[in-house]
């Protein structure tokens, strides 16, 4: 009987881990969408103003992503 309970507990724990992984993947996708939207807004803002403020105020990695996105949109 103990083996059966242990098996069911392990199976339930495994399912909850899979559910947790699924929720985390969905959250990552949502955050990536938000990041892309924010970068698009920054690119549009820089086009309108003519100033590249992202290079001045954002971390280098983000500024580089925005620069790549800007190049991609101008092609």
pLDDT tens digits for range 4-42: 667 666 767 777 888 889 999 999 999 999 999 999 999
Residue 41 domain boundaries = 2-74
Give the pLDDT confidence score for residue 18 in this predicted structure.
82
Q: Is the pTM value of this prediction over 0.85?
A: no
Which position has the higher pLDDT, 43 or 10?
Answer: 43
SS (H, E, C) the chain: CHHHHHHHHHHHHHHHHHHHHHHHHHHHHHHHHHHHHHHHHHHHHHHHHCCCHHHHHCCHHHHHHHHHHHHHHHC
Is pLDDT at 1 greater than 60 in this prediction?
A: no
Task: Count how many domains the chain has.
Answer: 1
Q: With cut-offs at 50, 70 and 90, classify the pLDDT of residue 60.
A: very high
Give the pLDDT confidence score for residue 70 in this predicted structure.
87
Whole-number Cα distances in Å, 68 to 45, 64, 72, 75: 15, 6, 6, 11
């Amino acid at each position: 009987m103990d083996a059966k309970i242990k098996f069911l507990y392990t199976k339930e724990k495994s399912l909850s881990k899979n559910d947790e992984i699924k929720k985390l993947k969905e959250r990552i996708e949502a955050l990536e969408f938000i990041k892309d939207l924010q970068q698009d807004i920054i690119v549009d803002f820089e086009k309108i103003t003519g100033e590249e403020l992202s290079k001045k105020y954002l971390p280098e990695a983000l500024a580089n992503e925005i620069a790549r996105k800007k190049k991609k949109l101008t092609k």
